[in-house]
Structure 1
Amino acid sequence: MTVSTSTVARTDLAQPVLAGLLASIVGYASTFTLILAALTAAGASPQQAGSGLFSICIAIGILNIVVAWRVRVPVSFAWSTPGAAFLLTVGEPPGGFSAVVGAFLVCAVLVILTGLIKPLARAIAAIPAAIANAMLAGMLLTLCLAPLNAVGEMPWHALPIILIWGLGLRFARRYAVPLAVAATGIILATTTQLSDDTFVNAWPALVPVMPSFTVDSIVRIALPLYVVTMASQNLPGIAVMRANGYQLQPAPLFALTGLASAASAFFGGITSNLAAITAAICAGPEAHPDPDSRWPAPMTAGFVYIVLGLAAGLAAAFIAAAPPLLIQAVAGLALFSSLASSLAGALAAEDMRLPAILTFVTTASGLTIGGVGAPFWGLVGGIALFLLLRREKAH
């Protein structure tokens, strides 16, 4: 029996296409509520939040399609989930959402400069992984407590969502968070009162936001967002690709993500970056046995992200009408695995545990000094203690 070449080609293509479809659906469904909640907490209106989600879907969609097609490597891009988690803890700054957009632009410029200036990239890479993980864990802790707070305040809403999430972890681990999101959608659809024009205005629209630049937003939002995006997304993204046998030149990729971030920021979009978790799906053996045949996976993911972005307006309307604590609870469930891996990375090396713990508790404390937020001080404190202990050990 003979098999035609076209049949073999279709079979070879099907596997990476399915991997890209899975990566995009899981990536979107797991954290789009976090993106919308973070933008809303930062002062965005429902229309601006929907525009922000739509713009970032377009940005990462185009990045995934163009870069994978040009270099024939399964490099993947995503939005900054740790960045959104950080933004949710900051709240609305003086100057409102326009100041947040200004901070997004400053962060984008810093990412571009990281791609162009090698010493800056080396400085970010020199931040100990344990301290970067501890800072991320400190930011995630408050969000991961939200499901428990929701159980206390609205048990009949929160408990079914947590139960479905737990059953998903047991029987379909990869789909646990999307199942919890689906359960939340059902609960909101049956309990939330939407205005008559909600569905009329549900078609997504890019809403321009005029940025404003303040010292407060740059110090409290732009700088920590930059550090979080680089240390918790871009550098791990490079590591995932190298672990799967792909040697990339990081500088051009950083510059591209910075340019995409700057473009989407004008419409309320948070930072774009290299994917880490979903990159493992697109670049790993499950995408295709042959490493040279995996690049259609991120291309497929890119097209799907753009299609999913069309639902941003309706999603934002539901989020705006829903109890904020319930949305934070779903976001917290989505971040449980990130919190676990961050804590594991922070405490893995015995000689780094004290600096990491100092970073963790400082970040989780919500401390603000001189208008500068806790993540920055956690990073500074952890690095200072690390350098002090290293010098003490050297003597």
Structure 2
Amino acid sequence: MAAPPSPSPSPLARIRAAAPPSAVAAGLIAVLVGVTSSAALVFTAARAAGADARETSSWMLAIGVGVAVSSIGLSLRFRAPVVTAWSTPGAALLATGLAGVSMAQAVGAFVFSAVLMIVSGVTGWFAKAMDRIPVPLASALLAGVLLHFGTGLFASMDGSFAIAFPVFVLYLLARRLLPRYAVLVALGGGVVASVLAGGWHLERIRLSLAEPVFTAPSFDWKVLISVGVPLFVVTMASQNLPGVAVLRGSGYQVPVSPMMTWIGAVTAVLAPFGAFGLNLAAITAAICTGEEAHPDRARRYLAAVWSGVFYLCVGLLGATVVSLLAAMPHALVMAVAGVGLLATIEASLAAALADPPAREAAAVTFLATASGVTLLGIGSTFWGLLAGVLTSLITSHRRGRTASSPVPAQPAVSSGTPQRTAP
């Protein structure tokens, strides 16, 4: 006799499964941190290219749609929290490098940089390089990247104690009583505290929708070399490299080459509308890969999916979202980001120092990355990893020589019993 069919889940159960509060909160916090930390750079870069208000709004729309498509698509494809973002160092580079460059030439450089990313994905060279990075160094790299946000939780108490301290205390209490919703409770408490403290500036909010503006690319070899190549280099070294480290440090072995190919293709398609550079996220991805996003590692990809949904809203609303974020107290963003990343920082430091022979190299990687140094236009994530690899190569050679040196035999001590010399 056939077993009766199991009842289908109710609509409410489906909503709960697709939108766990902790995952939705993690996705929202990731977008808040990402947008508030660098949206101004996007506007500055667009203005440097001579963009008017409509074109600038189109840049935000294209970037928001691109991040949404890549985050949602890759997360569902690999069932892993793959969070993408726009290239923050790329936007900083464009803010100074697009002076005297026409919009069409700038778009040509965006397309060229995207094609280089596609080539890196198809050939697999970037994945091969990442496979050679030891886990302690990758974990130290992640800890160094996140250090600023961890200390920012406490630094924000200086001058905004009434906002940051309640966030911290509510997070600790919720970790004990409601651990799954700790960050969500901290966020809600922070909003209430900031409203009571009068930290919001609602007069800065402006309502407007974004419209796509197409610009045909123009390929000038001088602009391709001076803008396109540096944009590709800083995006790969300062964004994609730590982005892969975040995923692997959290235990997600997602194939790198398909991700690079997909992100590059999305960027190339949306570049004529202003998507100058998309890449794997690092800091915001760490918010979605930790246990605060979901207690089940296999379900944390939902946090990345929801971050994509919120990024789509950012793109559609454009300047409205940016003005809303400008009205939000900066201390609230830093405090919530700090508590949301505590568990990830703890796990990263533990993994970085777990292997005694690699501790020195991991410490160098952590310190150099956390220093924030920028050389040749490339950020500290690349130089921190390079310093760690160099330290590892030299110290491992030193240890190898020490281990291979013969141990001198100790002279036998005269006594009534025979002494055994060291072999």
TM-score (norm 1): 0.71
Asked if 1:150 is matched to 2:161, the reply is: no
- Equivalent of 1:162 in 165, 168, 171: 168
Of 342, 346, 356, the residue aligned with 1:350 is 356
User: Which stretch shifts more, 153-162 or 209-218?
Assistant: 209-218
Distance 2:376 2:308 in 1: 44
Query: Match of 2:207?
Result: 200
Q: Could you list the per-position Cα deviations for residues 333-364 of structure 1 after superposition, in whole angstroms to 9, with x for gaps in the alignment?
A: 32222222221221111111000101111122
- Structure 1 residue runs of 5 or longer lacking an equivalent are 243-247, 288-293
RMSD, aligned CA:
4.7
Instruction: Give the match for residue 84 of structure 2.
Output: 79
Q: Quote the Cα distance in structure 2 between the aligned partners of 1:115 and 1:226.
A: 12
Give the alignment of 1:170-319 within 5 angstroms. Answer: 170-188=176-194, 191-195=199-203, 198=205, 200-201=207-208, 203=209, 213=227, 220=234, 222-233=236-247, 235=248, 239-240=251-252, 251-263=257-269, 266-267=274-275, 270-272=278-280, 277=288, 304-305=309-310, 309=314, 314-319=320-325
Secondary structure of the structure 1 residue equivalent to 2:43: coil
CA contact (8 A) 1:20 1:282 kept: no
Instruction: Output the CA distance in 1 between the equivalents of 2:179 and 2:36.
Output: 24
- What displacement does 1:377 show? 1.9
User: Which residue number corresponds to residue 20 of structure 1?
Assistant: 18
Identical positions, percent = 23
Partner of 1:392: 398
CA separation in 1, counterparts of 2:201 and 2:24? 27
Q: CA separation in 1, counterparts of 2:151 and 2:62? A: 29
Q: 1:343 to 1:52 in 2, by over 3 A?
A: farther
Match of 2:142 in 1: 136
Q: Does the CA-based 8 Å contact 1:103-1:213 persist in structure 2? A: yes
Secondary structure (helix, strand or coil) at the match of 1:271 reads: strand
Q: In terms of mean alpha carbon deviation, does 27-36 or 216-225 score higher?
A: 216-225
Tell me if the contact between 2:364 and 2:388 (Cα under 8 Å) persists in the aligned partners: yes
CA drift of 1:269 comes to: 6.9
1:303 to partner: Cα distance: 8.4
Task: Say which is worse superposed, 115-124 or 96-105, in terms of deviation.
Answer: 96-105
Say which structure, 1 or 2, has more relative contact order (CA 8 Å, 6+ apart): 1
Aligned partners of 1:135 and 1:363 also within 8 Å: yes
**Mapped pair 1:112 → 2:118:** yes
Q: Secondary structure in 2 aligned to 1:8?
A: coil
Larger mean Cα displacement after TM superposition, 342-351 or 113-122: 113-122
- Separation in 2, partners of 1:347, 1:77: 26
SS in 1 for 2:398: helix
| 1:34-89 CA-partner distances (Å, limit 9, x unpaired) | 111222363536999997776565445445666688x7x74553225xx98xx49x
CA positional deviation for 1:105: 7.0
Residues 361 and 154 of structure 1, relative CA distance in 2, 3 Å threshold? same
Q: Secondary structure at the match of 2:83?
A: strand
Q: Which residue of 1 aligns with 2:220?
A: none
Residue pair 2:43, 2:56 contacting (<8 A) in 1 also: yes
When normalised by structure 2's length, the TM-score is 0.67
* Offset, 1:103: 9.8
Partner of 1:291: none
- What is the number of residues matched between the two proteins? 368
Distance 1:64 1:379, change over 3 A: closer
Identify unmatched segments of 5+ residues in structure 2.
Answer: 47-52, 100-105, 218-222, 402-423
Q: Is the 2:267–2:276 contact (alpha carbons within 8 Å) kept by the matching residues of 1?
A: no
Computing the radius of gyration from Cα coordinates, the structure with the larger value is 2
Residue matched to 1:35: 34
Q: 1:135 to 1:161 in 2, by over 3 A?
A: same
Which residue matches 1:290?
A: none
Which residue identity is paired with 1:193? H
CA contact (8 A) 1:363 1:375 kept: yes
Letter in 1 for 2:19: L
